[in-house]
Amino acid sequence: MRLLINTDGVQFRVAGPAKAKADYKDKDKQATTRDGVPIWTVRLDAIEPEREARETIWVEVAGDQPRLTFDGYAVVHGLVFAPWVGRDGKIKRAFRAESVAPSGSSKSAQAA
């Protein structure tokens, strides 16, 4: 199940470069969607000014490598939470987005 996250009032700050997500079966290859589109992982700080709260999240996004500036702001569209159960029986957190782009830019990466 994927749960859509309401990001109204949330600011996203780039906390690291976009990195190729490793394939589940072959860690030397980049993961792709079923259509062969590469998947990237972006580390973002989700900042909620009203609550004076910040949380670092890793967001998966498919498409061209997001061209983000470290410590710059990003726009995230279609953010979902898609938890899953690992082999160890523990619930794992997974965030996916339709797109992640620099704030004020029309270019973006597409959904994972």
Per-residue pLDDT tens over the stretch 100-110: 999 974 444 44
* pLDDT surpassing 90 at residue 75: yes
Domain count of the fold of the chain: 1
Supply angle C-alpha 15, 28, 17, rounded to 5. 15
Distances (CA, A) of 7 to 26, 28, 96, 97: 34, 34, 13, 11
18 in a structural domain: yes
- The pLDDT of residue 106: 40
- The pLDDT of residue 107: 42
- The pLDDT of residue 2: 87
- The pLDDT of residue 29: 94
58 in a structural domain: yes
- The pLDDT of residue 25: 86
Q: How far apart are CA 75 and CA 79, in angstroms?
A: 10
- Of 108 and 95, the structure prediction assigns the larger pLDDT to 95
86 in a structural domain: yes
7 in a structural domain: yes
Q: Is the pTM of this model over 0.95?
A: no
Domain range holding 13? 3-102
The span from the first CA to the last CA of the chain, in angstroms, equals: 15
pLDDT digits (tens, 9 = 90+) for 6-62: 999 999 999 999 999 999 888 889 999 999 999 999 999 999 999 999 999 999 999
55 in a structural domain: yes
107 in a structural domain: no
CATH of the domain at 29: 2.40.50.140
